[in-house]
Amino acid sequence: MAVVSFVHRLESLPMVRNVFETIQEIGHDKDFVPVETDQFVPTEAPAGSSEKLEVLARRLREGLPLWHRGDRADYSGLTGAVSPRGGQGRSSD
């Protein structure tokens, strides 16, 4: 009888799209499971880049897992400008 009650309760819950909607609807996220759809594709964006952050935010909004096995795992092949921090040194005032 408890199983039937639980199934009925699950069926009566509104469909939620992401973890934020889950928390808003039921007050916690412990039962939220991200769904892998055809929108869940790997990214070549390097970790920490604004592009990677945008990908993670989109995945979160769409209820997808955050990490894809095919996401870039290293920084090989990347180049970029290096800027010094605060000049040549500190003054001794």
Residue-wise pLDDT for 45-88, tens only, equals 999 999 999 999 999 999 999 999 999 999 888 887 667 776 55
Q: What's residue 85's pLDDT?
A: 75
> How many domains does the chain contain in total?
1
Residue 43 belongs to what domain range?
36-73
For residue 41, tell me if it sits in a domain.
yes
Q: How confident is the model at residue 39 (pLDDT cuts 50, 70, 90)?
A: very high
Please say whether the beta carbons of 31 and 23 come within 8 A.
no
For residue 64, tell me if it sits in a domain.
yes
Which pairs with CB-CB distance under 8 Å and at least 24 residues apart come from 18-27? 18/60, 18/61, 18/62, 18/63, 19/60, 19/63, 20/60
Is pLDDT larger for residue 31 or for residue 84? Answer: 31
Q: What's residue 78's pLDDT?
A: 85
For residue 63, tell me if it sits in a domain.
yes
Whether the model clears a pTM of 0.85, i.e. scores above it, the answer is: no
For residue 20, tell me if it sits in a domain.
no
